[in-house]
Structures are given as C-alpha cells and as structure tokens.
Structure 1
Amino acid sequence: MKQLLLLLFSIIMISCSSQKKALQETLQASYETWVAGVRGGGSGINFYVDLKTPLHKEIELKKVIFRGYEVPFEKIDDLHFVARIKTEGNQQKQDGTDSQIYTSPKNALTLGENEAILLFSEKAKEFNVKIKQVTEKPMLEYPSAKPKF
C-alpha cells in the first residue's frame, strides 16, 4: 500500500514539473521600461509574455512578480499578454490619490534583475513558473509636450 501511494505521489509530482517545463518552453518573456516626456507624467515597465501556442482553456495567466512588483496581466489575444507596472519615478504627487503602484514582498529578494515569476491558475489551484532570463527591449522615451504659446 505504501508503495502504491509513493508511486501515485511521484507521478503527480512529475506531471506538475513537466507541465511547468512545457510552459517555460512555449513562452517568451520580455520587458521595456518607459518614462513620460513631461514632469509628473509617470514611468513604468511593460512586461510582455508571448506564447507559441494558446494556453489550455483551464489554465489562466494571472500575475507577474518582477523587480518587487506584483501586477495582473491584460490579455491582448490568445498568444499575447501584457502587465503594466507603474514605478515610483516621475509620478505626479497629489493628496488623496491612489498611485496604483503595487509592490510585492513575495520573492522580491530571491529574484535576480532579469528574473520573474508568472502566476497561473488551473481549476482554482495556483501554481507559478520562474523565468530565469527575461529579455530587455529598448526603453520607450515618450516626447515632451508641445510648448504652449
């Protein structure tokens, strides 16, 4: 009986790790930083996930943890997702406003500069995949506002 339980547990663990490995092989993660061209216009990081094949209908890409921030994904289409991270730089400071800057204590110290954790859900169970090399795209520098004469 113990051997049967051990075999069943091993099969479950192998299938979970193979699922994570399959997800890592079918996605590409990249990011680009941006700064608005006007004072107080904001700054941030756009984090992109591009898939080679659509996710199984029971799997949903929920959030990313990147550089201490934890933000939800926006689905562009079945193969492309983006998470828009607002950073502290170049933000307009006003009393009583929510700056919508979300930081996460989860794994912030254990992740490298170009590492991220993607959070997925499948049948109400959460699991994560660690991406070891996130590609950096060139920075977006938005032009400044036109002068008012």
Structure 2
Amino acid sequence: MIILNRVYKSASLLFVLITCTQCAGSQQIDKKNPVEIKEAYFQRWISGVEGGGSGLMVYIEINENTDVQLEHAYFKGKKIKLDHKASELEYVGHYSVVSKRPELIMSDNPKEEFKNKLPDVEEKIPFKLKENECMISYIKNGKKGFFKLDNIVEKEMEAYPMQRRQ
C-alpha cells in the first residue's frame, strides 16, 4: 500500500511538472520578426450613432507576402483577431466596445430571469506589455510563434458620421 501511494504521488508530481513546462515553453517570443514590417499603427474610432459603440483598429503593413500568417494582436490588454486579404499587404484588427447594454429581465419568476444573456468575459492576455507595445501571434509552417512590436504609433481618431449618407 505504501509503495502504491508513493507511485501515485510521484506520477502526479511528474504530470504536474510536465504540464507546467509545456505551457511555459509554448509561448516563446522570437527575437527576430518572421516578416518585415513596413508600418504598424492603431487608430481609435467612435460611432456617431447612439449605441454604435467605439473601439480601436490595429493596422500592420508588411513589405511582401510570405508563408507567415499573422493571427492575433495582443494590444492594450485585448486579444484582437487580424484579418488579411491575400491580394493586400496589410493586416487589420478590429476591436469594438458596444456602448448599449442589453436590457435585463427582472421578474418574480426565476425562470424568466434565466432568459438573460450572460455578460461577455474578455480573455486575459498572457503577456505583460507596455502602453505602446504589441505582441503578434503567427503561424509559419504549421507552427505557432510570437513576436513583439515596439512603439506602435497612434494616428488621429476616426469619428464616423451621425447619419448614413443617402
């Protein structure tokens, strides 16, 4: 019984150590960027329509198309998906904050309150970044990697019109 207990504890400890080292090793940050960045900046935006929200857009322009696919930008505490058209050399990430809160159902009947939508919980980013730093996740040859961009420039805020043009 004592031997079985020791084997169980050793196996558990080994499992925990392997799991922790795998997690730590999976987020190695590359010293050199896998793509040449021509320009990287972000721009805040605000909607002129009530409930239209606000947010920011991240722009990353590369010098040439490569086999590297940029996936996400970790910027200002947010994880932002990067979109890319094959014919273009620019990746764009959109982050939106909807200013209109959904109505809550308040009722004496608890079953009615179950119809309330749960609030969206933002994923906490796994990096500690300075104010103007951005971490980029990418895929190259089926392997995921990360690299950091320093000094992301902020361009003038974009204010969208209050009404749609007719």
For normalisation by structure 1, the TM-score amounts to: 0.70
Q: Separation in 2 of the partners of 1:101 and 1:48?
A: 25
The aligned residue for residue 40 of structure 1 is: 51
| Offset of residue 112 of structure 1 | 1.2
Percent identity (aligned): 23
| Offset of residue 135 of structure 1 | 1.1
2:39 to 16, 28, 41: 28
In the alignment, does 2:79 pair up with 1:70? yes
Deviations 1:27-84 (A, max 9, x none): 4211100011122111110100101111x22x21111100111021111344111000
Counterpart of 1:140, as a letter, is E
May I ask how many residue pairs the two structures share in their alignment? 123
Cα pair 1:71 1:102 within 8 Å, conserved? no
Q: How does 1:47-66 map to 2 (within 5 A)?
A: 47-54=58-65, 56-57=66-67, 59-66=68-75
The aligned residue for residue 9 of structure 1 is: none
The aligned residue for residue 100 of structure 2 is: 92
Cα pair 1:52 1:79 within 8 Å, conserved? yes
Cα pair 1:68 1:106 within 8 Å, conserved? no
Cα pair 2:70 2:139 within 8 Å, conserved? yes
Distance 1:128 1:98, change over 3 A: farther
The aligned residue for residue 125 of structure 2 is: 105
Q: Separation in 2 of the partners of 1:98 and 1:34?
A: 26
For normalisation by structure 2, the TM-score amounts to: 0.64
| Offset of residue 144 of structure 1 | 1.9
The aligned residue for residue 142 of structure 2 is: 124
Q: Which runs of 5+ in 1 are unaligned?
A: 1-15
| Offset of residue 105 of structure 1 | 2.8
Q: Which runs of 5+ in 2 are unaligned?
A: 1-28, 104-115
Counterpart of 1:115, as a letter, is E
Rg: which structure is higher?
Answer: 2
Q: Separation in 2 of the partners of 1:46 and 1:94?
A: 24
Distance 1:74 1:134, change over 3 A: same
